[in-house]
Structure 1
Amino acid sequence: MLQILLVGFVFILVEFYTYQAFRQWTKRRSFRLIYVLVSVLILGYIAYGFSKFDRSIGQTHQSMLAAALVILFYLPKAIITVLLLTEDAVRLFIGIFQYFNREKADKEANRPFMPERRKFVSQLALGIAAIPFASVLYGITVGRYKFQVYKHVLEFEDLPHAFDGFTFTQLSDIHAGSFDNKEKLEYAVDLINSQDSDLLLFTGDIVNSIADEMLPWSDVFRKLRKHTYGNYSILGNHDYGEYVKWDTEEERLGNFKGICDISPEIGFRLLRNECVRIEKGGESIVVVGVENWGADPRFMKYGDLDKATQGVSTTDFKILMTHDPSHWDAQVLDHPKNFQLTLAGHTHGFQFGIEIPGVIKWSPVQYIYKQWAGLYEKMGKYIYVNRGFGYHAYQGRTGIWPEITVIELRRK
């Protein structure tokens, strides 16, 4: 009950201050009326979208659009509220200062206690709020399909000579249940195939929760070419179907089997706490794939590094696929089998942030995950966190674009 009252208070506060800014921006009653009507309609759709959420179905386009509208409209409104609240605090301070420094005659003249709100501040607040509004709108309409290829060259002293120049493509977090544009997906698959890599690796979350989410898109993903040294995949936290409500355990297990079957249907070999040895020129490297393991108690811990590396020596060069990057610090770095390169995903880069190479790299998710997007090195070992191919929870990507990663291995 207290949470509901708190949310209600914040909502009223945000709407009140946003209307104050809009009222100062225009004196035309017709514009104000349009603003109120649009706000009511948007709020109504948001409430309707969330009220229709069904745990037996999971995320739908309707619920994701509702979440996108919350970010699109209430992030700018929150910025306006903070700026006008700050102005009110300053006005209050000035009012108190002036009150105790006025002459008696001035106090009796019934002058306003606080200075009037300045139109300039309201206009400034609206102008600043327009920036995230435009950015999020772009992310919803364009950004979620703005596929980017990130290329990296990594050097290792213990890389076998035969693999000097070996390339692989990493994909992660497809989230098939979120898509709504076949043409954009076909373009992305062509982009993946055009990289001409030796190996294709997928690091989990192929669907949102339900196996059938892949049905409309499976013919597109079947066009992924069979790479010379194979296509391999692992499971992510969403691939266990545990975020929806099942009537029976048999239904849950049947859905999980269906999700596991997606990988071979679209040309991948699914690795579940197992490994595969890649042979080239009389030498080899090992691709290790573990099930989901997350340090956060909310996420399952099914990954088993020891089981996955049976028969693998410490000196073997290994590429580890593990969905959640928190696994790296928790278990991988100090593991005696010595994992030279780890690949992960999971974070999506929060689907929101700012990335300007060499200038700034920021996202709210960095306060949750130490490794959240791109390449990290520690103790001579590397982890690469893919920003994700698809999207989830809300229908957009702002500043953190969907990623196709290409890594070339070089011998130092």
Structure 2
Amino acid sequence: MRFAVFHLIMALWVLWRFVLPLRMAKGAKWALALVVIAVSLFSTVTTLFFGGLLSPELPRAVLIAGNFGEAVLLFLTVFTLLREVVIFFSVLAGRSGEKIHRAVQQDRRTAIGLGALSVGFAAFGIKKGIEVPEVRYHTAKIQDLPPELEGFEFVQLSDTHCSALLTEPHAEALVERVNSLHPRLILMTGDFVDGAVERREKDIAPFAKLKAEYGVWGCDGNHEHYGDYPRWEKKFAQLGIRVLRNEHAVLEVEGNDGKPARLCLGGVCDPMAARFGRELPDVRKTFAGAPDPKAVPRILMAHQPKMFPRYRANEEFALQLSGHTHGGQIIGMDRAVAIMNGTYVRGFYRSPEGTLLYVHPGSGLWNGFPIRVGVPSEIAVIRLERRRA
């Protein structure tokens, strides 16, 4: 419902401030108005008739076209709002601003320019949104990291969102790129898939080919809870992904110079579990019985970053890995996303006592808003290093 209202508001604004002032034939203006209304109804129609907002079951080309139209509407709304600022100041300028006022509101060249900009940004945003993520390297500086773990690397994936938009070929390409890194460990921080098992099992099947010396591990995300979670839990296990739900595992790894080392992985349930009467996140339960964190570093997988202060207040760990925000997806919009997620949106954050958080910008995105501008998706390679004063 919120998305329907949001798109309706954008459509009404564009009709009022962009279409209505245009100097063009009435027939053409009516046709353009109908296009704006049709685009604004795309999400509503998919929600009511094609499987719901979270996982619309439509051909990929239709989803791309519909989302492209919505992206054009979004950017046209933004650009016309910016134009209003220019109009406001031109009105304040009085007679000296009349020429600028007419140029920015009624001149055909201005309208064509705004339309072209909106189409260009939308095309770029959709292209970047659905492409296979690039590999990006990061260094996590950990306090009191045992010397034998210095330089240990692992891959983090998050928010892969296998769907009718990000289908089997996309998953195949993602897996191929990850495996080319020969990762020692793969950690997946939730939102693996959108849709029912029978709809998505082919699209997520390539994940069974993920290979890592110390396995593929994960935690659930909020989107897992929107579908048939018990069935997906079994499917993840069949794919070789060990999902930790308020539990931990201690890995015996080979460290520097072949020396044995240990690493403790924990995973908490997602807070969305509360809506469905499932087990809530419990970081104390997660690390109950785990080795001393000063001797065996702990990595916590928790899909939503906003819980970071609460988790570190209740349990000791060195590094939290999260996702969920998709990095904000669009420069500028990421500030609003940060506010909704406890100020965490992407990259590293460190608490006063030294605990580290990495918020992954996503290895995919939800097919209801597949736009990225200035915030690329990624396959994160994270290297552990000792933090020195």
TM (normalized to structure 1)? 0.76
Rounded to whole Å, the distance in 1 between the matches of 2:165 and 2:279 is 28
Rounded to whole Å, the distance in 2 between the matches of 1:83 and 1:34 is 23
Of 223, 235, 245, which aligns to 1:238? Answer: 223
Residue type at the aligned position of 1:57: G
Aligned to 2:153: 167
Aligned to 1:229: 214
Give 1:77 shift.
Answer: 3.7
Residue type at the aligned position of 1:231: V
Question: Contact conserved, 2:269 with 2:282, CA < 8 A, in 1?
Answer: yes
CA 1:78–1:220 in structure 2 vs 1: closer, same or farther (change >3 Å)?
A: same
Q: Counterparts in 2 of 1:185-334, with a 5 A limit?
A: 185-225=171-211, 227-241=212-226, 255-280=228-253, 281-293=259-271, 302-312=280-290, 313-315=292-294, 316-329=296-309, 331-334=310-313
Of 339, 362, 365, which aligns to 2:337? Answer: 365
Residue type at the aligned position of 1:375: F
CA 1:86–1:9 in structure 2 vs 1: closer, same or farther (change >3 Å)?
A: farther
Give 1:177 shift.
Answer: 1.9
Q: Secondary structure at the match of 1:287?
A: strand
Of 213-222 and 81-90, deviating more is: 81-90
Question: Contact conserved, 1:152 with 1:407, CA < 8 A, in 2?
Answer: yes
Q: Secondary structure at the match of 1:152?
A: strand
Give 1:343 shift.
Answer: 0.1
Rounded to whole Å, the distance in 2 between the matches of 1:381 and 1:171 is 21
Residue 51 (structure 1) aligned with residue 25 (structure 2): no
Structure 1 spans left out of the alignment, 5+ residues: 99-113, 243-254, 355-360
Q: What is the root-mean-square deviation of aligned Cα atoms in Å?
A: 3.6
Aligned to 2:355: 381
Rounded to whole Å, the distance in 2 between the matches of 1:295 and 1:371 is 21
Residue type at the aligned position of 1:342: Q
Of 48-57 and 394-403, deviating more is: 48-57
Aligned to 2:35: 41
Question: Contact conserved, 2:142 with 2:385, CA < 8 A, in 1?
Answer: yes
Residue type at the aligned position of 1:402: S
Question: Contact conserved, 2:194 with 2:200, CA < 8 A, in 1?
Answer: no
Rounded to whole Å, the distance in 2 between the matches of 1:128 and 1:298 is 45
Question: Contact conserved, 2:245 with 2:267, CA < 8 A, in 1?
Answer: yes
1:130-188: CA deviations, max 9, x gaps?
44541221121343214122211223342223222211100111111243454333222
Give 1:275 shift.
Answer: 0.3
Structure 2 spans left out of the alignment, 5+ residues: 254-258
Of 369, 374, 384, which aligns to 1:399? Answer: 374
Q: Secondary structure at the match of 1:383?
A: strand
1:56-100: CA deviations, max 9, x gaps?
9333155965455223224314422552475267437727x99xx
Aligned to 2:256: none
Rounded to whole Å, the distance in 1 between the matches of 2:336 and 2:198 is 32
CA 1:214–1:171 in structure 2 vs 1: closer, same or farther (change >3 Å)?
A: same
Aligned to 2:317: 339
Q: Counterparts in 2 of 1:34-183, with a 5 A limit?
A: 34=28, 36-47=30-41, 49-54=43-48, 57-58=51-52, 59-60=55-56, 66=66, 68-84=68-84, 86-87=86-87, 90-91=90-91, 94=94, 117-119=101-103, 122=107, 123-124=109-110, 127=113, 130-183=116-169
Rounded to whole Å, the distance in 2 between the matches of 1:401 and 1:364 is 17
Q: Which structure has the bigger radius of gyration?
A: 1
Rounded to whole Å, the distance in 1 between the matches of 2:229 and 2:10 is 40
Give 1:319 shift.
Answer: 0.4
1:104-151: CA deviations, max 9, x gaps?
xxxxxxxxxx87942256545753664454122112134321412221
Rounded to whole Å, the distance in 2 between the matches of 1:54 and 1:160 is 55
Rounded to whole Å, the distance in 1 between the matches of 2:8 and 2:237 is 49
